Each structure stands twice: as structure tokens, then as C-alpha cells.
């Protein structure tokens, strides 16, 4: 039993770490070596793959991705938390329906609205702008954010709100000074999941941005398409690795809090 469990875990680790290692390994090979022996470790370290990869995707798309992800989170987390707080703590007529509508958004593939969205954005003058992209990202990420945070707010004992109310807190002051800090584990969870999703987001960026304005996934995708005519696969591997690094850093930074939140999922006094 123990051996079987170990084997299953080992297989899962291999499935997750394997591709990562493979990409890292191939990102420092030469193109000839890559095709000659794709599974063996590199003999010569070809670091210039990274400069080629970086130039190809462009610093601009890296920065754009960074802006899109960070700006989205800056708006998304407070807005999502405020909505989730209301859903969790304040019963009002039609609450269930409104909540269900929000959750319904999670089941709606975003490329289904791509065409109406493009038309709408064109009329509003938001097409091919970063703030337009951020707006769409915030809207699309709200369902998941509200869904997760509602659970966290529900776990906060009612007495804390009442205590703050008696202490003299207005509803907004109570929210920002007591409730918002208490769902920090939840904010970390939705923050990381959204960050990963947004960093890798392709379809919306694809239809809303064009030309100079591109994000990292767009840059890498166009690079991959270019491989039909050119053969710089190792440069592509290097670019992919560059794209992965920020996400890995964020994950490693918040790993403990993430695990804590997954296990506890509640705030205890």
C-alpha cells in the first residue's frame, strides 16, 4: 500500500516537474544538440538562447503582462472582497439569484463573447489599450474571486463584525480594518490563482490587443508560429522559461501561506 502510494506520488511529481526540467534543459542547448539528443542533458551551455528569446518576445510584452496582471489584481481583490463580504454577511432579497449569476460567469468560456466584446470595445475606444484589457480581466476574474472569498468571509464569526460595530466602526471602516485583513489567506489564494491565470491569458489578449501592444503569451505564440519558417526552437524554450520564472517566484514567495489557506480555509480566533 505504502509503495503504491509512493509510486503514485512519484508519478505525479514526474508529470509536473518533468516538463519543467525538460524545458529548462533544452533552453540552454544548441539547436543541433536539441534535435540530436532531445532527452540528454546539455553538453555545451548556450546562454545566448536567452538573449535571442528575450529579443524575440520583446521587453514590451513582458512589461505589458506585468502591468496587466498587477493592475488587474489591484482592482480585482478589493472589489471582489467587497462583493464577497456582502454576499457572505448581509442577507438581502435576491441574494441567491445575484450570487448564482456571478458564479455562472465561472462556467462561461470567455472566448464565446470575444466578438461582441471586440465590437463593444471598438465603440468605446478601448480596443488595443492596456486599461481596456485590465477592465476585461477584472470582469472575467470576479466570479472565481467572489466564489472563493465568500467562503472565507462566511467563516469569520459574526461577533467580530458586531464587536467592531459596537466599538464605533462604520460599515466601511469595519470592512477595511477588521474584515479585509482577516481574509488575507483567501486573498493570497485568489491572488495567486488569478495571477497565474492572467499571466498566461491568451484568448482575450489575442482579440483585444494588436500590433505593438502585446503580452507575453502573445509574444511566445507568435514566436512559436514563426518556427514554421525558422528553426530557433531553443530560443523558444528560453523564452518559455523566461515567461515561467515570475510565476514561480510568486508561488515560492507565498507557498506557505497558500498551503495554510488550502488546509485551514477558515479564520480562527
- Residue numbers at the binding site for other proteins (CB under 8 A): 157, 159-160, 162-170, 173, 177-178, 181-182, 184, 267-269
* C-alpha cell recorded at residue 55: 529579443
Q: Which is nearer to other proteins, 52 or 184 (CB)?
A: 184
Q: Which is nearer to other proteins, 122 or 173 (CB)?
A: 173
Q: How far is CA 1 from CA 13, 14, 253, in A?
A: 18, 20, 34
Max Cα distance, the chain (Å): 73
Q: Which is nearer to other proteins, 61 or 174 (CB)?
A: 174
Are 21 and 13 spatial neighbours (Cβ–Cβ below 8 Å)?
A: no
Q: Which is nearer to other proteins, 167 or 212 (CB)?
A: 167
Q: Which is nearer to other proteins, 166 or 245 (CB)?
A: 166
Q: Which is nearer to other proteins, 109 or 168 (CB)?
A: 168
Are 77 and 190 spatial neighbours (Cβ–Cβ below 8 Å)?
A: yes
CB of 168 to other proteins, least distance (A): 4
CB of 268 to other proteins, least distance (A): 7
CB of 83 to other proteins, least distance (A): 21
CB of 94 to other proteins, least distance (A): 18
CB of 185 to other proteins, least distance (A): 11
CB of 179 to other proteins, least distance (A): 10
Supply the DSSP string of the chain, one letter for each residue. Answer: -HHHHHHHHHHHHHHHHHHHHHHHHHTTS-HHHHHH-TTSPPSS--THHHHHHHHHH-HHHHHHHHHHHHHHHHHHHHHHHHHHHHHHH---TTHHHHHHHHHHGGGS-GGGGHHHHHHHHHHHT-TT-HHHHHHHHHHHHHHHHHHHHHHHHHTS-HHHHHHHHHHT--HHHHIIIIIHHHTHHHHHHHHHHHHHHHHT--HHHHHH--TT---HHHHHHHHHHHTTT---HHHHHHHHHHHHHHHHHHHHHHHHHHHHHHHH-S---
Q: Which is nearer to other proteins, 182 or 195 (CB)?
A: 182
CB of 165 to other proteins, least distance (A): 5
Amino acid at each position: 500500500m505504502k509503495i503504491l502510494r509512493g509510486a503514485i506520488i512519484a508519478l505525479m511529481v514526474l508529470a509536473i516537474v518533468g516538463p519543467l526540467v525538460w524545458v529548462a534543459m533544452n533552453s540552454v542547448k544548441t539547436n543541433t544538440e536539441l534535435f540530436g539528443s532531445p532527452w540528454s542533458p546539455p553538453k555545451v551551455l548556450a546562454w545566448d538562447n536567452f538573449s535571442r528569446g528575450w529579443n524575440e518576445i520583446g521587453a514590451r510584452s513582458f512589461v505589458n503582462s506585468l502591468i496587466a496582471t498587477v493592475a488587474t489584481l489591484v482592482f480585482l481583490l478589493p472589489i471582489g472582497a467587497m462583493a464577497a463580504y456582502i454576499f457572505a454577511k448581509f442577507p438581502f432579497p435576491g441574494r441567491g439569484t445575484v450570487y448564482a449569476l456571478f458564479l455562472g460567469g465561472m462556467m462561461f468560456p470567455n472566448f464565446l463573447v470575444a466578438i461582441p466584446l471586440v465590437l463593444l470595445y471598438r465603440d468605446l475606444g478601448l480596443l488595443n489599450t492596456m486599461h481596456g484589457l485590465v477592465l476585461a480581466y477584472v470582469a472575467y476574474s470576479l466570479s472565481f474571486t467572489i466564489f472563493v472569498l465568500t467562503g472565507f468571509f462566511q467563516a469569520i464569526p459574526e461577533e467580530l463584525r458586531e464587536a467592531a460595530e459596537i466599538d464605533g466602526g462604520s460599515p466601511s471602516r469595519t470592512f477595511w480594518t477588521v474584515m479585509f485583513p482577516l481574509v488575507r489567506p483567501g486573498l493570497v489564494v485568489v491572488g495567486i490563482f488569478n495571477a497565474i491565470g492572467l499571466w498566461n491569458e491568451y484568448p482575450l489578449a489575442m482579440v483585444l490587443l494588436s500590433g505593438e501592444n502585446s503580452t507575453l503569451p502573445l509574444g511566445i505564440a507568435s514566436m512559436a508560429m514563426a518556427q514554421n519558417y525558422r528553426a530557433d526552437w531553443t530560443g523558444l524554450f528560453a523564452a518559455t522559461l523566461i515567461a515561467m520564472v515570475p510565476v514561480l517566484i510568486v508561488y515560492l514567495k507565498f507557498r506557505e501561506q497558500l498551503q495554510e489557506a488550502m488546509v485551514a480555509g477558515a479564520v480562527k480566533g
